[in-house]
Each structure stands twice: as C-alpha cells, then as structure tokens.
Amino acid sequence: MKARVHVMLKTGVLDPQGEAVRHALGALGFDGVNGVRQGKVIELDLKDGTSEDSITSMCEKLLANTVIESYHVEVM
C-alpha cells in the first residue's frame, strides 16, 4: 500500500518561499494570484495493512514539525 503525506506550513506562519513564487508569477504577467503557499509531499511505500494510527505517528514523530507545520495523510 502507499500513502501520501502532505505537509504545509500552518496558517499564520510566514512562508517566504511562497511569497517569492507569488511575486515571480506576478512578474510573468499572471494577474490575480492572491497568495502562494509551498509545502511538500512525501510518498510512503508501506507494508499492506499498516494502520492509519501508525502513519499518524510517523507524521507526528518525524515527517512534520507540528509547531510550524500541519499534515494530511492520503492512503492510496
């Protein structure tokens, strides 16, 4: 089985990279981009039957820093 973990900076945490991308899009002539937030996607190749609790624990312990990041798990 596979799981995809999306990690994003929490709302309210400044994302300077996202801001730089937003400016770059504006410079390319794309109007109306009000905001860009950049995160990461981590794909896990897991033993079949791995519990969601176990994946949550991976996120809490390592994959995301919950002080600044939120995460969302998508089991595929």
Partner 1 sequence: MKAAVLVFPGSNCDRDLGVAFEQAGFDVSMVWHKDTELPSGIDIVGVPGGFSYGDYLRCGAIAANSPITQSLKTHADRGGYVIGICNGFQILTETGMLPGALLQNAGLKYICKTVGLKVETSQSSFTEGYNAGDTLEIPIAHHEGNYFADDEVISRLQGEDRVAFTYTDNPNGAKADIAGVLSENRRVLGMMPHPERAADIGHGGTDGTALFRALQGALTPA
Binding site for partner 1 (CB under 8 A): 9, 13-14, 16-17, 20, 61-63, 65, 67-68
Smallest Cα–Cα separation from 52: which of 35, 29, 28, 76?
76
Choice between 8 and 63, CB closer to partner 1: 63
Question: Toward partner 1, which CB reaches closer, 1 or 68?
Answer: 68
CA distance 35 to 14: 12
Q: What's the min distance (Å) between Cβ of 65 and partner 1?
A: 6
Question: Structure tokens of 30?
Answer: 């794309």
* Distance of closest approach, residue 44 Cβ to partner 1, in angstroms: 13
Rounded Cα–Cα distance for residues 23 and 66 (Å): 28
